[in-house]
Amino acid sequence: MSTQVYERVALIGLGLIASSMFWAMKRAGLAGEVTGYARSSETRDTARRIGLCDRVCDTAREAVADADLVVLCVPVGAMGPVMEEIAPVLKPGATVSDVGSVKRHVIDAVQPHIPEGVHFVPAHPLAGTEHSGPESGFAELFDNRWSLLVPVEGTDPEATARLRALWEGMGANVDEMDADHHDLVLAVTSHTPHLIAYTMVGVADDLRRVTDSEVIKYSAAGFRDFTRIAASDPTMWRDVFLTNKDATLEILGRFTEELFALQRAIRTGDGEHLHDYFTRTRAIRRGIIEAGQDTDAPDFGRSLKK
Ligand code: NAP
């Protein structure tokens, strides 16, 4: 029995997410032919060398012509221009999706260019690493992770169901969510934590009394985890904050209030406040492990990933 979900899939942008999708689709035989396009000839050459995609094309239009599914895997800020570029050659009945970390902005930038008779089903896999580029992907990235589908008004349920089957075939659990709610949830679970990690590493870098070599040599688990997150791709994260402005500022405001409350508790020696707070947050970590979204191993299961 064939598990093929789409005959032809085109991946635009060939970084961590696209390359992981390619290997995951191949693992399960979900697509007949996968074409790919990346902006730089260097990335296209690398893709050809490592066998990433059945066919690597020199233009985005060439890659999407005849595709039944086109997935935009470029930084959020590039989604609109890329969509505008490919719109004239899309096959009637094809589905366009994306993997962007922000949904309202992508929908506003992409939807106006979707031609009549082409479906648009935005998506966001909640899986990643701090690595980027065509060689960073691996087939297991989406296993047991969530992928959120964010269908826009009027989306054909058949097109959404088919994309769901693809993500499930790549190992993900799939949920549907409204775009604004998605952006708020992700501001809490991903975007603001990244900003805090960037800040903490920046502070350590600025602290001249603690030398660089000391920061690296005595790097304890807390700081080490921050540095891993703060090593994420600068272009991707710049775009996330520029395009999920309201939700990130809302969560940052709340974060700052809590930080001041903890600061006051430290100053006034309010151990009870600190203990109660840390007890509450510890329960969240347990919940994440019980939900199978991380492991209890000392390295948080990261050795399993590339
Ligand atoms: P990546 O590894 O940095 O790859 C990005 C790809 O997009 C590269 O092939 C790059 O081409 C291409 N690209 C960059 N700017 C472009 C432009 N202006 N026009 C055309 N192509 C352009 O990125 P990624 O981590 O796979 O992320 C891709 C998308 O997935 C982003 O929207 C991100 O928000 C989302 N996402 C990321 C993660 C994560 O943890 N990394 C998780 C979930 C979703 P060149 O190589 O030729 O420069």
Give the contacts of 63 (CB within 8 A, at least 6 positions apart). 10, 11, 12, 35, 36, 37, 55, 57
> pTM for the complete prediction?
0.92
Our answer on whether the CB atom of 13 is closer than 6 Å to any ligand 1 atom is yes
Q: What is the pLDDT of residues 47-93, one digit of tens each?
A: 999 999 999 999 999 999 999 999 999 999 999 999 999 999 999 99
How far apart CA 47 and CA 53 sit, in angstroms, is 7
What's the average model confidence in pLDDT over 139-162?
Answer: 96
Question: Residue 4 Cα, ligand 1 centroid: separation in angstroms?
Answer: 26
Tokens 């949830």 -> residue: 185
Give percent above pLDDT 90 in the chain. 80
Q: What is the pLDDT of residues 246-283, one digit of tens each?
A: 999 999 999 999 999 999 999 999 999 999 999 999 98
Question: Residue 44 Cα, ligand 1 centroid: separation in angstroms?
Answer: 14
Sheet holding 146-149, edge to edge: 123-125, 146-149, 173-176
Fold that domain 6-177 belongs to in CATH: Rossmann fold (3.40.50)
How far apart CA 256 and CA 195 sit, in angstroms, is 12
Our answer on whether the CB atom of 125 is closer than 6 Å to any ligand 1 atom is yes
How far apart CA 66 and CA 93 sit, in angstroms, is 10
How far apart CA 101 and CA 187 sit, in angstroms, is 10
Closest Cα to residue 180, out of 252, 108, 131? 108
How far apart CA 152 and CA 149 sit, in angstroms, is 10
Q: What is the mean pLDDT of the chain?
A: 92
How far apart CA 202 and CA 227 sit, in angstroms, is 10
Measured over the CA atoms of residue 163, residue 167, residue 169 and residue 173, the dihedral's sign is: negative
Q: What is the pLDDT of residues 12-27, one digit of tens each?
A: 999 999 999 999 999 9
User: In the numeric block, which tokens belong to residue 5?
Assistant: 């979900």
pLDDT above 80: residue 302? no
What's the average model confidence in pLDDT over 233-237?
Answer: 95
Give the contacts of 182 (CB within 8 A, at least 6 positions apart). 103, 104, 124, 148, 150
In the chain, CATH 3.40.50.720 covers: 6-177
Our answer on whether the CB atom of 82 is closer than 6 Å to any ligand 1 atom is yes
Residue of 236, 241, 302, 306 with the most ligand 1 atoms within 8 Å of its CB, for mutation: 236
In the chain, CATH 1.10.3660.10 covers: 181-290
Our answer on whether the CB atom of 75 is closer than 6 Å to any ligand 1 atom is yes
The pLDDT, as a whole number, for residue 270 is 97
Q: In CATH, which of 3.40.50.2300, 2.60.120.620, 1.10.3660.10, 3.50.50.60 is domain 181-290?
A: 1.10.3660.10
Sheet holding 95-98, edge to edge: 55-56, 31-37, 6-12, 69-72, 95-98, 119-120
